[in-house]
Homo-oligomer: A and B are copies of this chain.
């Protein structure tokens, strides 16, 4: 069945009442009953929940074949906890048929690919999928299609009971003996623990893995002891150097700066650029650089930003400290400046993944966003965006909060160069739709600006402000004129991944790529 963005979704995936994507907000107002975990009552006081090994924790939590384990990615490329856990599951406990539900998987988790190949990991549910895991899934080695969700779609799926977590693992920079966790105060600090918060509340069992045990109570707790079964103390939960880098360097690339300035001017041309406006931006070069160009425009108008959300980096913290933004509400920290600020700088607070972006609660923060600046691997003439699959069709990206902020914000601006290397970024059809075009408002490239025709109001704003803009088709033509029309990718029939829209419908599928077009570094 073709869905709202024209993707053909195989009928076999629509068993059990699953639906295809029907457009932004199609599920608004629908009632559903939240799922509840199956949990163990701890009436009798215990002196400690610390157990000596991960194996012991897994046994106490009823680890079994066929279960789903969850992880969060605040430790980013420095994470050790996923690999420690899967090694325990398979090498020490000899379990099989395990599904890994992670908020994101990256190159730090390359060892998981081998367990996929061996058929021990049979399911992957994640937002980000990169490195060898992405290649293994793209090669069709995973027994079931991977499920790709946004950061808001994941808590939605958890709360709806579609993703049931048997054991959630919390990688905690600090924890007390009862399991109260915080992302600051240890030797592997990551700041916000926002993605772990929802997992911990809805998992049957919760295991905290920490390298820094602190006195009870470790408060205010991001993950609360009332949800935690066991605490395991390990030598190190991650490599601090890879968890949080020094402040993301501001780009000096003239092309990036030009696009950033252009995006800022687009923002300033809309009615949403008023005192108290809200904002999210990424950490990529041109996205981050938007902050630099926003500041003089804000000063010119005599306005301040009310609040900013998202993955947070130093640049935004500096704006908070300078009084340019009123509050930062933070689901993940991208660099040391942000890690060191959260819970310490007045106005810099933590939020859960559900508060951030869940489309099925009663109004996540993304619903109140005025602006979001996002990047894209590809964007097509219907404004559909791909941030998941490479031009070779291999999984090597992450929807993250992209579909959520695009859907919730009043003005979603995609900033991307027209071509990257030999690839056209603006194209006829993206390889995979990860953010539907009805959620995207403006495209800013180094060759001009295009506005989604659905947003006649924004077109009028840009005209009134004297900001030139062109059709997205003309940008595609320009891109194809530079690098040529791309060859069609050659797919096999097998679906290796399902891209779930944030509302739980099916937005797209990723099929197995034909071997000869596979340019992954691993042998096909």
With a cutoff of 8 Å between Cβ atoms, the chain B residues found around residue A215 in the complex are 276, 306
| Closest chain B residue, CB of each to CB of A177 | B368
With a cutoff of 8 Å between Cβ atoms, the chain B residues found around residue A225 in the complex are 355, 362-363
| Interface check A358, CB cutoff 8 A | yes
Provided the pairs A34-B39, A360-B43 are in contact, do residues A219 and B28 lie with their beta carbons within 8 angstroms? no
- Return A67 CB to nearest CB of chain B, in Å: 15
| Interface check A229, CB cutoff 8 A | yes
Report whether B40 and A362 are in contact in the complex, using a CB–CB cutoff of 8 Å: yes
Report whether B29 and A362 are in contact in the complex, using a CB–CB cutoff of 8 Å: no
With a cutoff of 8 Å between Cβ atoms, the chain B residues found around residue A220 in the complex are 349-350
> In the complex, which residues 348-400 of chain A have their Cβ closer than 8 Å to any Cβ of chain B?
349-350, 354-355, 358-365, 367-368
Instruction: Kindly specify which of A44-52, A134-142, A512-520 makes contact with the partner chain.
Output: A44-52
> In the complex, which residues 377-427 of chain A have their Cβ closer than 8 Å to any Cβ of chain B?
407-408, 410
- Return A183 CB to nearest CB of chain B, in Å: 15
Report whether A361 and B226 are in contact in the complex, using a CB–CB cutoff of 8 Å: yes
- Return A280 CB to nearest CB of chain B, in Å: 14
Report whether A368 and B216 are in contact in the complex, using a CB–CB cutoff of 8 Å: yes
Report whether A349 and B219 are in contact in the complex, using a CB–CB cutoff of 8 Å: yes
Q: List 29 A-B contacts (CB under 8 A).
A: A24-B43, A25-B44, A29-B41, A31-B41, A34-B36, A34-B37, A39-B362, A40-B362, A41-B360, A41-B361, A42-B367, A43-B503, A45-B367, A45-B410, A46-B363, A49-B363, A178-B363, A206-B362, A215-B276, A216-B368, A217-B327, A217-B329, A219-B329, A219-B349, A220-B350, A225-B362, A226-B354, A226-B358, A228-B363
Report whether A41 and B359 are in contact in the complex, using a CB–CB cutoff of 8 Å: yes
- Return A323 CB to nearest CB of chain B, in Å: 15
For the complex, give the distance between the alpha carbons of A99 and B35 in Å.
25
Q: Identify which of B38, B306, B327, B355 contacts A226 (C-beta below 8 A).
A: B355
Q: Which A residues are closer than 8 A to B by beta carbons? A: 24-25, 27-46, 49, 159, 178-179, 206, 215-217, 219-220, 224-229, 276, 306-307, 327, 329, 349-350, 354-355, 358-365, 367-368, 407-408, 410, 503
Report whether A217 and B365 are in contact in the complex, using a CB–CB cutoff of 8 Å: yes
For the complex, give the distance between the alpha carbons of A450 and B27 in Å.
63
Give the interface centre of A25, A37, A226, A350 by most chain B CB atoms within 10 Å.
Answer: A226
Report whether A43 and B31 are in contact in the complex, using a CB–CB cutoff of 8 Å: no
For the complex, give the distance between the alpha carbons of A368 and B355 in Å.
30
Report whether B363 and A42 are in contact in the complex, using a CB–CB cutoff of 8 Å: yes
| Closest chain B residue, CB of each to CB of A40 | B31
Report whether B25 and A30 are in contact in the complex, using a CB–CB cutoff of 8 Å: no
Closest 3 CB pairs between A and B?
Answer: A34-B36, A226-B361, A45-B367
For the complex, give the distance between the alpha carbons of A407 and B178 in Å.
18
Q: Identify which of B178, B206, B361 contacts A227 (C-beta below 8 A).
A: B361
Report whether A46 and B219 are in contact in the complex, using a CB–CB cutoff of 8 Å: no
Provided the pairs A36-B34, A41-B29, A42-B28 are in contact, do residues A363 and B216 lie with their beta carbons within 8 angstroms? no
For the complex, give the distance between the alpha carbons of A166 and B224 in Å.
26
For the complex, give the distance between the alpha carbons of A154 and B300 in Å.
55
- Return A211 CB to nearest CB of chain B, in Å: 22
For the complex, give the distance between the alpha carbons of A359 and B358 in Å.
30
For the complex, give the distance between the alpha carbons of A346 and B174 in Å.
19
Report whether A364 and B226 are in contact in the complex, using a CB–CB cutoff of 8 Å: yes
- Return A198 CB to nearest CB of chain B, in Å: 10
Report whether B30 and A33 are in contact in the complex, using a CB–CB cutoff of 8 Å: no
- Return A403 CB to nearest CB of chain B, in Å: 12
For the complex, give the distance between the alpha carbons of A410 and B228 in Å.
22
For the complex, give the distance between the alpha carbons of A283 and B437 in Å.
60
